[in-house]
Amino acid sequence: MSFSFDVKDELCRLPLGKNCCMLSELTALYRTSGSLSFHGFGRVQVQYRVENAALARRIFRLLRARLNITPRLHYVQHARLGGQRTCVLTIGDEDSQKLMLALHMIDQDEDGSIRYRRTTVRHPMTRRCCRSAYLRAAFLGSGTMTSPDKDYHFELSTTDQSMIKELSRLLEKCELPVNTYQRKGQTVIYLKGAQQISDTLALMGASNSVFAMEDVRIRKQARGAANRAINCDEHNSERMLNAADTQVQAIRRLVIEKGLRSLPPALQEIAQLRLDNTDLSLTELGQLHEPPLSKSAVNHRMRRLMEIVRQLEAEISTDATDTQEESL
């Protein structure tokens, strides 16, 4: 299962919390997953429709615990969407009114008559606990996050502009500045930084998911450090091979022009070793030498050897100029 699924599963299992928080959750869930239908003569019906069965169970429990409402639960199978199942919670007439009153969608006059104010919910979120609950429910109803193994991305998407405003304000209050963009008629609020996402998970109460994410972050950092070390090694060995290549070409030039025997014995040996082992480092060449030589000793001899080749090349180019001048 996806990381997003695991986070939601953890959130659905959290205790229902305080009365104020239960209402905050029901409000956000109504905004993401709720709908209202009128059936004439002032009869109304509220439905919650969600894909996730654990979330349907949570809504069921919230309605029961907070408002003593027992919704009817049934499933709709979508043949066109590969058999995907939607859980539908339908609330009866009277209970729907009770819920709408609780969510401040309607007012009740003293004589008991109902006045419809708006069809959107309104819920004060002055308490920190309620802000957490609201965010948790918004994520359950409309959120998703990428597995931190792949990328750091957390988002909430909805067509409800006032909910976008509320969520932006809420996240900014928690020092989690958000970005938004439009996608297929929906506004997407998203967070990108690993730390911000981790803080958001913590704010929603998903502490196991915070640990899971921190684990991934540590593994990624360790892997990054290991990769940098390997790259550095490769870089060094490439440099070493380039140097060895230059040495081999220089020694070949010397062999052609003058022969190895023109060199002092100590340099003859090291030149021969280099020609026979073109891919070894100076340390390794030193180990092959009889008796073994230190890296700095090999380095010293190699430098003398290179100096001799440079002098030789200088001589050759002067000779060439001389010959040209003679022929003029």
Binding interface with Zn ion (CB under 5 A): 18, 20-21, 127, 129-130
Alpha-carbon distances, residue 7 vs 155, 208, 209, 213 (angstroms):
13, 8, 6, 10
Strands (E), 109-254: 114-116, 143-145, 154-158, 179-183, 186-191
Measured from the CB atom, the residue of 34 and 205 that comes closer to Zn ion is 205
Measured from the CB atom, the residue of 134 and 152 that comes closer to Zn ion is 134
The CB-of-19 to Zn ion minimum distance in angstroms stands at 8
How far apart CA 293 and CA 274 sit, in angstroms, is 14
44-50/34-38 β-pairing: antiparallel
Measured from the CB atom, the residue of 170 and 213 that comes closer to Zn ion is 170
Q: Can you say how many angstroms the Cα of residue 113 is from the centroid of all Cα atoms in its chain?
A: 53
The CB-of-196 to Zn ion minimum distance in angstroms stands at 23
Instruction: Using the structure block, give the residue that is written with the tokens 């920190």.
Output: 128
Quote the crossing angle between the two packed helices 295-327 and 207-257, to the nearest 10°: 50
The CB-of-169 to Zn ion minimum distance in angstroms stands at 17
> Cβ contacts of residue 218 below 8 Å, gap of 6+?
none
The CB-of-24 to Zn ion minimum distance in angstroms stands at 6
Measured from the CB atom, the residue of 138 and 309 that comes closer to Zn ion is 138
Measured from the CB atom, the residue of 129 and 260 that comes closer to Zn ion is 129
The CB-of-70 to Zn ion minimum distance in angstroms stands at 23
